[in-house]
A and B are shown apart, each in its own frame.
Chain A
Amino acid sequence: MSAPYEEITDATEGKVYTVSGNDWTELVETLTGQQDEQLVVNMGPQHPSTHGVLRLVLNLDGETVTEARTVIGYLHTGIEKNMEFRTWTQGTTFVTRMDYLAPIFNETAYCLGVEKLLGITDRVPERAQAIRVMMMELTRISSHMVAIGTFGMELGATTPFLFGSREREMVLDVMEYITGLRMNMAYIRPGGVSVDLPAGAVDKVGELLKIMPQRIKDMRKMLDANPVYLARTKDVAYLDLTGCMALGITGPMLRAAGLPWDLRKSQPYCGYETYEFDVPTERTADVYGRYLVRMAEMEQSLKIIEQALDRLSGPLKGDRVMVDDKKIGWPAQLALGPDGLGNSPDHIAHIMSGSMEALIHHFKLVTEGFRVPAGQAFASVESPRGELGAHVVSDGGTRPYRVHFRDPSFTNLQAVPATCEGGMVADVISAVASIDPVMGGVDR
């Protein structure tokens, strides 16, 4: 018979039991009657409820968590470093991969920063702004749906996850129709968006607007007053306003603590000041409050999408979607050809047989990129998880000198010890899920 564990070693902290596989019963038998009061448990980095590769080191006294330490970095991909070696436009392809549940927000924060440096913030066409708003709010719905769905699954209910995934899939279909990709679409570009809405996109979003309210209601019916759900979420992971401020928490967690702080209202960008919507808040400062805020935010997002859609199909129809500056705007209007999305046939005809200067211009702008005046700027957007800020530094060249992202997941994860210590080990799951961290954004 093999040894019950892979390894038992003596460390300064005490005995270390490495368990991997189906030998939990044996571990319990061995530990029963041991005098150790403290049990240190590694939760993750490969644990289904840690939203990717988050590792929690929990000191347990019985079932009570006495100390919770968070270990991150398992998904670090060096996006910020890589961006320094690509052009400003290529940067969008990197940042879209950070917080992979809300790619449009990453792109928008980055592009707003670059536009600030270029000094073209006011010259971005209104149609591009309205498309950005619509795409951001669609993404907010899909992101919240995943947040609530996975949350349900982590508490042991699979139906919310299936519902959430189904709803997210609807949004992703729309994304695919508009941008050509479901995720990581690099759609928002410095100066506007990469391509105008294709024919039929307005109808597609309109369809979603018809179905989604009922779907949100279904989710509410399932969870709002579910006694099991309430027992697992009410008064769990309490973090009040003072705690939020000290730890720099933003987003639904802050609004669930009662502060109606939403950058779309307080420091509007992309023309959010012209849209009508509310900022939902709760006063409970617990997991259930955060859930309610997310649900209400999705309903508000639908309102914003509706307004944006009215503008896109009405007064802004046929408008430009890229800044009217040939030295910055991508030279080609992209078009869907038989072999996928690419340069439009008109543009190719123009540069290949019409104008030598246009060919040179296209070549220079695409290979070398545009220059951005030296300086630094900070632009932030209200992502589904909180304030997503981009600190963009230029030295006057065609590549970013330094780009740093203040990702809300990264900052909000610091609340794990504050919300988990002193609570039950089972509540760690709901606490982490209510933060809704996306490790791609945390580690970048």
Chain B
Amino acid sequence: MSSDNLPGVPEEPIARTGMFGATGTGDTSGYGRLVVRRKPELSTPRPYGGYFDTVADELERALGAELADAVERVVVDRGELTFHVRRERLVEVARTLRDDPALRFELSLGVSGVHYPHLEGEELHAVIHLCSITHNKRLRLEVSCPDADPHIPSTVSVYPTHDWHERETWDFFGIVFDGHPALTRIMMPDDWDGHPQRKDYPLGGIPVEYRGAEIPAPDQRRSYS
């Protein structure tokens, strides 16, 4: 990219190189130097469109000056509104969203985890989908925490339904929800090692103990062919 007549493109972040995601193999298609860049993470500018502006206005009114501190980014994508909330302020934001008469997001659809190993400093995300039955609206809260300090405050006190959802996210991603009444594994056995939905956890390849005997992983078993 040294030539002067090329348009200026951001150097980072790179999503993938090559056309088919192949590495080290002979990609003879001629597209081996193709570089696909990931979009930098930006906040969506106002107006958001639809009812999203109303929700954002009401949240701004309810939180006041705290908003800038609590909400890092607002993203509107594919007809959905996402507030990226700083983890320290999550419980406060959730309580405001639930209790404020103009917001009233009284139904939570649970917590879902996503692991982005390439996002340094915010590898683990917890995604909360909220629904307002009073106003028939939806929004998404996204909270992140670094892998080195996987702690997010628990929102069970605001949405009791998060009890099992947070246990599931802990089980699969290793996010510790501080203040959860009993954060134990829910799907995997209690003595399981590791958190299976993380990207650094392989699919299969784990030996399993059953009634005292160890069953080797599928790729380690004897083959009879």
**Minimum distance in angstroms from A276 CB to a CB of chain B:** 20
Residue of B nearest to A380 (CB): B109
B160 at the interface (CB under 8 A from A): yes
Given A248-B107, A248-B161, verify A374-B196 contact (CB < 8 Å).
no
**Number of cross-chain contacts by CB at 8 Å:** 105
> Does A397 contact B21, Cβ atoms closer than 8 Å?
yes
Asked if B187 contacts A389 (CB within 8 A), the reply is no
Contact (A389, B78) CB under 8 Å given A81-B203, A248-B159, A378-B129: no
* B20 / chain A contacts, CB cutoff of 8 Å: 368
Any B CB within 8 A of the CB of A271? no
- CB of A404 within 8 A of CB of B196, answer no
A206 at the interface (CB under 8 A from B): no
A376 B127 Cβ-Cβ under 8 A: yes
The answer to whether B109 touches A116 (Cβ under 8 A) is no
Q: Say yes or no: B159 contacts A80, CB within 8 Å.
A: no
Q: Check A81–B196 contact: CB distance below 8 A.
A: yes
- B96 part of interface (Cβ distance < 8 Å): no
Choose from A72, A73, A246, A443 the contact partner of B159 (Cβ within 8 Å). Answer: A246
| Interface contact A411-B78, CB-CB below 8 Å | no
Q: CB-nearest residue of chain A relative to B203?
A: A85
* Option from B15, B127, B161, B185 in Cβ contact (under 8 Å) with A246: B161
Known: A245-B106, A389-B129, A391-B127. A119 touches B78 (CB 8 A): yes
Structural contact, A248 and B78, CB atoms closer than 8 A: no
**Smallest Cβ-Cβ distance to B189: which chain A residue:** A73
Q: Is the CB of B160 within 8 A of A246?
A: yes
Q: Which residues of B contact A25 (CB under 8 A)?
A: none
Cα–Cα, bound, A404→B112 (Å): 6
Closest to A82 in B: B203
- Which of A80, A395, A397, A411 is close to B110, meaning CB atoms less than 8 Å apart? A411
A80 / chain B contacts, CB cutoff of 8 Å = 172, 197
Chain A residues with CB under 8 A of B154: none
Which of B77, B187, B188, B203 has the most chain A CB atoms closer than 10 A to its own CB? B187
**Size class of the contact patch on chain B:** 35 or more
Q: Nearest CB to that of A244 among chain B residues? A: B107
Q: Is the pair A395, B15 in contact by a Cβ cutoff of 8 Å?
A: yes
Q: Smallest distance from the beta carbon of A269 to chain B beta carbons, Å?
A: 12
Q: How far is the CA of A254 from the CA of B206 in the complex (A)?
A: 41
**Separation of A152 and B129 alpha carbons in the complex (Å):** 36
Q: Give the chain A neighbours of B78 by CB distance below 8 A.
A: 116-117, 119, 375, 377
Minimal beta-carbon separation of A98 from chain B (angstroms):
13
Contact with B along A34-74 (1 / 0, CB 8 A): 00000000000000000000000000000000000000110
Asked if A307 is at the interface (CB within 8 A of a chain B CB), the reply is no
Find B109's partner among A259, A377, A406 (CB 8 Å cutoff): A406
- Docked Cα-Cα span, A397 to B38, in Å, equals 12
Shortest A165–chain B CB gap in Å is 30
Of A396, A402, A410, which contacts B15 at CB under 8 A? Answer: A396
Question: Across the two chains, which residue of chain A brings its CB closest to B163?
Answer: A414
Query: Is A99 part of the contact surface with B, judged by Cβ < 8 Å?
Result: no
A374-386 to B contact mask, C-beta < 8 Å, 1/0: 1111101000000
**Apart from A389-B129, A404-B112, A411-B164, what are 11 other A-B pairs with CB-CB below 8 Å?**
A73-B187, A81-B203, A247-B161, A248-B159, A248-B160, A266-B136, A378-B140, A391-B129, A396-B36, A402-B112, A414-B161
- Nearest first, the 4 closest Cβ-Cβ pairs linking A and B are A248-B161, A404-B112, A76-B187, A73-B187
A residues bordering B, Cβ < 8 Å? 72-73, 76, 78, 80-82, 84-85, 116-117, 119, 245-250, 259, 261, 266-267, 368, 374-378, 380, 387, 389, 391, 393, 395-397, 401-402, 404, 406, 410-411, 413-414, 443-444
The contact sample of 28 A-B pairs, CB cut-off 8 A, is A72-B187, A76-B188, A116-B78, A246-B160, A247-B161, A248-B107, A261-B133, A267-B136, A368-B20, A374-B15, A376-B80, A378-B109, A389-B110, A389-B129, A391-B112, A396-B16, A397-B21, A402-B115, A404-B112, A404-B113, A406-B109, A406-B112, A410-B164, A411-B110, A411-B161, A411-B164, A411-B165, A444-B187
